[in-house]
Amino acid sequence: MDEITELLPAGEAGSETSQPAAPKRRGRKPKAKTAPAEKSETESAEKLTADLPFIPEPEAVPAAAAAEPVAAPADQQAEVAATSDAVMRELLLEELSEPARETPVRKRQENSAEENGQAAPRRGRPRRENNNRDNNNRENRQPREFQENGNREPRENNKRENYNKRENYNNREPRENYNGNREPRENYNGNREPRENYNNREPRDEQREEPQRDHIGPSLNISELQEKSMQELAVMGAELGIEGIGALDKSTLVCEILRANAEKCGQMFGSGYLEVLPDGFGFLRSPSYSYLPCSEDIYLSPSQIKRFALKTGDFIAGQIRTPREKERFFAMLKVESINNDSPERKKEIIPFNSLVPYFPTQRLVLERDPADYSTRIVDLVTPIGKGQRGLIVAPPRTGKTVLLQKIANSIRANNPEVKLIILLIDERPEEVTDMMRSVDAEVVSSTFDEPPERHVQVAEMVIEKAKRMVEYKQDVVILLDSITRLARAYNTLQPHSGKILTGGVDATALHKPKRFFGAARNIENHGSLTIIATALVETGSRMDDVIFEEFKGTGNMELHLDRNVSDRRIYPAINVEKSGTRKEELLLHPDELNKVWILRKAINGVPPAEAMELLLGRLKKVKTNIEFLLTLQPGNN
């Protein structure tokens, strides 16, 4: 060491022996310029700088600045050391007070971590896992004790004092014996309780409370208004102060009357048969318009349909309200009855498809007038029972429409408990008017000038309505004219499947009309659905013949009309030999059945025209069929 000291100059040797060399400064450069002589650091500065992160050495200074300094006196060196110590302390305090800044070293560390596929080191303050704990070191913390109810006792220095999450849920009790499966709550019955503070949701129609007002105006029923004539509606509109009545149609006038009555605080009621649309909501259609959509239809929300388990064809009645802003239709406010019964009983009804079908056992007697030979012959040749599925096979101009009218009038007269519906598809408008005036029954029509979509919509509404009535143990009879034209409408609307039968009939188009016709059945210990439909033959269309062949084996009763008989002006033009009913022994008395067999044997092989003339001649001599059958003896013609 002495040798090294001797070799050094005097200034350097004195400085090294007088005090140790100061460590290299870290951080930013000081603002004040000091002498480049090495200075000693105090113990406090060394302790503060020891915890600082590693910072690279500053860049090399020029050669001129790196020259060996000239040794300074001892008092000057002490003054410079004190100044340097104060500046260093000030810089360290500034760095500790400022937020951590990104340094080139950290950038290089992040870039190298990303290149190696590793996560970059976290910046800033280390994350705390639990914000509710105090700031004491983990090794100094005391373990929390558990209370009797299973909740942790809060710490003394916790920011959220006496905080217990379960205290915010008044209905929840602490769950004991927690083994991985939640125990059922005591007050939980499977249904959510309504939220008290949830005010953003608009109440549903059946829960919305209308403002209570004094009902000054009269109570109107929309169904009664639809049945009135235009003259009666015009008088009511004039009394309510409606202007321009002459330019309004019936549907619009009914809506205006209801709105004017609502302004006078009058109650409104409505009813109709429900049609559920694919979107989930539905409308109440009116039989007065043959279930045609119109502006006075009543809207039912999806929640109401789900609540009461409603289906297409249900008869709904209740209180309605006028359309609100941006609404087009009247809305059902409160459902008061479903199918003329309590709404609560709807869920107890057995669905139609779950009922057990059986052969008809109760007969529908058609004989009522001695001069009405058509119904008397039908009673003898093809007896009809409740739940019958019958076809009237008719060429053109054989009197099928007149025969349907007589059958309908006989059913109405002899069986008033039966609900009778006459469905006319693709018929002439004058025949629809004649049917409505001739028969006291509900007539639903879709004339030939209507589109196929209209034919299908009317037919589906009628059959669904009949199913709902059968579910309530009622007897329903549908007289359809004709099923051939209904099948044509379904074939027109059926998407092309690539499988075309003879005559241009799609292979899948006849499924829906078969489902319509197949709904006719007798239900054990329930109601019944009877369908008597006409099928057209000998029209010159191969499609009509194919449709008849498809339906030929589906019915359990067939009544054939003969063109040769009608050409001779013999009515009814019935071909007795081809007509018949399956399981007729369930409808006829054994003695009556034997007499009918004698009649059939007598006219077997006789041409249809001569056989009908013979039968009509014998029936004119007696007033009832029983008297006629008593005159028949085995072996007599």
pLDDT along the chain (637 residues), means of 10: 44 43 50 46 50 50 47 59 73 65 54 57 57 52 55 55 49 54 55 52 49 55 77 79 76 78 74 90 88 86 90 90 82 89 87 90 91 92 93 91 93 93 93 92 92 93 94 93 91 82 82 92 90 91 88 90 91 91 91 91 89 91 90 71
Rounded Cα distance between 302 and 283, Å, is 11
Q: What is the greatest pairwise CA distance in the chain? A: 167
Indicate where the chain has its CATH 2.40.50.140 domain(s): 220-225+263-349
Q: Is 388 annotated as a binding residue?
A: yes
Q: Is 400 annotated to bind ligand?
A: yes
Give the per-residue pLDDT at 319.
87
Q: Is 124 annotated as a binding residue?
A: no
152 annotated as ligand-binding: no
pTM over 0.75: no
399 assigned ligand-binding residue: yes
Q: Yes or no: say if 92 and 45 are a contact pair by the CB < 8 Å rule.
A: yes
What are the CA-CA distances from residue 459 to residues 290, 296, 425, 456, 516 (Å)? Answer: 10, 21, 8, 5, 8
Find out whether 620 is annotated in a ligand binding site. Answer: no
Contacts of 513 (CB under 8 A, 6+ apart): 483, 486, 487, 490, 551
Q: Rounded to an integer, what distance in angstroms lies between the CA atom of residue 209 and that of residue 116? A: 67
Is-cis flag, bond preceding 572, omega within 30? Answer: yes
**Is 385 known to sit in a ligand binding site?**
yes
The answer to the question of whether 387 is labelled as a binding residue is yes
- Return the CATH number of the domain spanning residue range 220-225+263-349: 2.40.50.140
Q: Which of 336, 346, 344, 345 is nearest to 313 (CA)?
A: 346
Helical segments of 415-451, H only: 429-438
CATH 3.40.50.300 boundaries in the chain: 357-631
The verdict on whether residue 386 carries a ligand-binding annotation is: yes
Alpha carbons within 13 A on the beta-carbon side of 162 = 0
Residue tagged 């060196």 (tokens): 77
> Is residue 375 within 8 Å of residue 366, measured between CB atoms?
yes
Question: What distance in Å separates the CA atoms of residue 517 and residue 551, rounded to the nearest whole number?
Answer: 9
397 is in an annotated binding site: yes
> Is 389 assigned a ligand-binding role in the annotation?
yes
Binding site annotation covers 28? no
Q: Which helix (H) or strand (E) holds 380?
A: helix 373-381
CATH number for the region 357-631 comes to 3.40.50.300
> In angstroms, rounded to a whole number, what is the distance separating the alpha carbons of residues 73 and 15?
10
> Is 401 a known ligand-binding residue?
yes
Residue 154 has what pLDDT? 57
